[in-house]
Amino acid sequence: MRVATNSFPNSLLDHLGVLTSRQARLQDQIATGQRIRRPEDDPAAAARILNYQDETRALRQYERNIGNLHDRAQATYTVLRELKKVSDRAGELAVLADDPDSPEALQAYAVEVTQLIERAVQLANTKWNGEHLFAGTRSDQAPFSITQDLGGNITGVSYSGNTSIAQSEIAQGVTLSTHTVGENTSGGGPRGLFADSRFGADLFNHLISFRDHLLAGDTDAINSTDHQQLALDEENLLTHLSNNGVIQGRLEATQNAGAQRVQALEGEVSKEADVDLAESLVRLNQTQAAYQAALQSGARLMSLSLLDYLR
């Protein structure tokens, strides 16, 4: 059997090429700390890493959504607390008006109630991040406007927002809204903050009615009507405060769960992609030793002549 004279050199070169490539790959892994630099390094592991990265990106987007929702919920909570002060003071004035010291006291209470109405309208038109908080999806315009008589007294407050709310995804297939509509008299949908026909809440009209009764000195109407109406407004406000707290708690819990999942995914990516330094150093030493041995063997064999084989 005749063997080509260049078969051994070609084989040796191929073998040295494989060892050189292996050395380069191991040196790159040790230098970067990454076991997988290209998909062909480990196709199955690379596919898993891509899936982990896709899930991580989705979780990061949920985290941003939750952050925006949480900021809005906190801004709403701040307004709700201020409204609670308005409601509390109106209730206190209603109690004081049951047995006033003098007719002048009722007039003074009426002036203060007017100030409470103005304060409530100001809060109702609060803007956050360039949007009105209580306008539904018509957040580019102030949702509440007042009408006044010739004397400058507020006679009505009208709502120009809507009852639609925007939802944001906070987890896969899970949406949530922190929008609060200012008024809802439709009998369905989200609960209105300042007025909702389902629950007897109508803060502005009730405050205006209370003020008018004070101006008229009608303590019977205050006792028989205004107390109950203001109590309904307070109950509605307390419900909103409670719901806001529940939503913030849910957002925080979801955010924590997402952060834990991201951390777990980072661990999975690390297990797949990070190099085992000690193992790689051992393999590099072995590859370098094999390369040197191949060079030495090749040099020794290629130095032999036909006479060496005939001895």
Would residue 214 count as lying in a domain?
yes
* Structural domains in the chain (count): 1
Would residue 21 count as lying in a domain?
no
Would residue 36 count as lying in a domain?
no
- What integer pLDDT is reported at residue 37 of this predicted model? 61
* Spatial CB neighbours of 247, under 8 Å, sequence gap ≥ 6: 69, 73, 176, 178
- Secondary structure element (H or E) that encloses residue 267, with its range: helix 227-273
Closest-CA residue to 26 (of 292, 284, 274, 291) = 284
Alpha-carbon distances, residue 99 vs 32, 96, 102, 304 (angstroms) = 82, 6, 9, 125
Residue 156 β-bridge partners: 147
- What integer pLDDT is reported at residue 166 of this predicted model? 92
Alpha-carbon distances, residue 267 vs 31, 51, 274 (angstroms) = 20, 13, 10
- Burial class from Cβ neighbours inside 10 Å (0-12, 13-18, 19+) for residue 12 reads middle
Would residue 48 count as lying in a domain?
no
- Identify the segments of the chain with pLDDT beneath 70: 1-42, 273-311
E strands of 2-132, at which residues?
Answer: 127-128, 131-132
Would residue 257 count as lying in a domain?
yes
CATH number at residue 69: 1.20.1330.10
Tell me the residue type at 129: N
Q: Which domain does 236 fall in, by range?
A: 53-266
DSSP H stretches of helix in 33-169: 43-96, 103-124
Q: Are 44 and 35 in contact (CB under 8 A)?
A: no
- What integer pLDDT is reported at residue 200 of this predicted model? 97
- What integer pLDDT is reported at residue 25 of this predicted model? 56
Q: Phi, psi (5° rounding) for residue 191? A: -75, 130
- What integer pLDDT is reported at residue 303 of this predicted model? 61
How much helix, strand and coil, in percent to the nearest 5, is found in the chain?
65, 10, 25
Would residue 105 count as lying in a domain?
yes
- What integer pLDDT is reported at residue 286 of this predicted model? 61
The answer, as to whether pTM is greater than 0.85, is no
- What integer pLDDT is reported at residue 306 of this predicted model? 44
Would residue 286 count as lying in a domain?
no
Closest-CA residue to 222 (of 72, 99, 104) = 99
Q: How far is residue 63's CA from residue 76's CA, in Å, rounded to a whole number?
A: 20
- What integer pLDDT is reported at residue 53 of this predicted model? 87
Would residue 296 count as lying in a domain?
no
Residue 176 β-bridge partners: 168
Q: How far is residue 202's CA from residue 199's CA, in Å, rounded to a whole number?
A: 9
